[in-house]
Amino acid sequence: MLAIVETQHFITAYYHSTMRKNILVISLLLNVLLGAGLLLVVDRLGGWTYALFRLQHDEAGLYHHRTQLFEMMHASPGAVVFLGDSHTEQCEWQELLRPDSFAILNRGIVGDHVQGVLDRLEEVLRHKPRRIYLMIGINDLIFRKKPEVILPVYREIVARIRSQSPNSELFLQSVLPVNNQIKKIGTDNDEIRALNTGIAALARDYALPYIDLFSNLLDANGNLDPRFTEDGIHLNGVGYAVWKQKIE
């Protein structure tokens, strides 16, 4: 009788042990599948860098807001256009430069990249600008795109401006340096230098002026000078004063 009871206890214990193991295995499998699904979604949305960026920013709606606003504006023939990303958007160009004879249009959009600028060129070129100051590419680098991927699209931008608005003076501006000691940006100055080398080569190919802002904003360590920034990437008023001096 004792042997039967012990056998029953053994069977019961074995059953519960097996069930716990099965539950653990199923739980691990579900976690693996969930993790794989999350990785797939993040990859489809642009990778971890972009996912983290999106958690900190909400530019998708803002981008649409600004492009829609631009399209509603009346054409300003002969205006000067500053075209680019947040570096361009965050300056009051009309007030900073104070021209007497023509309008300055700010066509910077926070978070923009080379393909975004290419896609919205029609709105810019309808003004038949006298000058276009172009700066774009930092966000492409932050999203882990390499210069060899960025530059062909950049070349398309230049080619379209030259063909569709041949009387516009086009100025290519270097991408600005960053300072990862102030804040981790997602790219470094070596990558920016490589991109700027390609932009300068494009300027030579099309016989266009190239404005080297990068070199004028560096500190002794080769980073964006802390005098010109609070967050390691965007410019403060003193930084924009340097920019103004270079384009004047």
Q: What is the pLDDT of residue 33?
A: 80
Taking residue 131's Cβ as centre, other Cβ atoms within 10 Å add up to 17
Q: What is the pLDDT of residue 18?
A: 66
Q: How far is CA 168 from CA 14, 154, 246, in A?
A: 83, 17, 19
- Binned average pLDDT, 10 residues per bin, the chain of 248 residues: 55 60 76 75 56 54 84 95 98 93 94 95 97 98 96 98 98 98 94 98 98 98 97 97 96
User: Which of the listed CATH numbers 3.40.50.1110, 3.30.70.260, 3.40.50.150, 3.40.50.1220 matches domain 58-247?
Assistant: 3.40.50.1110
The β-bridge relationship of strands 80-84 and 104-108 is parallel
Q: What is the pLDDT of residue 107?
A: 98
Q: What is the pLDDT of residue 167?
A: 97
Q: What is the pLDDT of residue 177?
A: 98
Q: What is the pLDDT of residue 45?
A: 47
Q: What is the pLDDT of residue 19?
A: 66
Q: How far apart are CA 43 and CA 40, in angstroms?
A: 5
Enumerate the domain spans of the chain: 2-44, 58-247
Taking residue 36's Cβ as centre, other Cβ atoms within 10 Å add up to 10
Strand partners, 172: 134, 210
Quote the tokens at residue 189: 């100055």
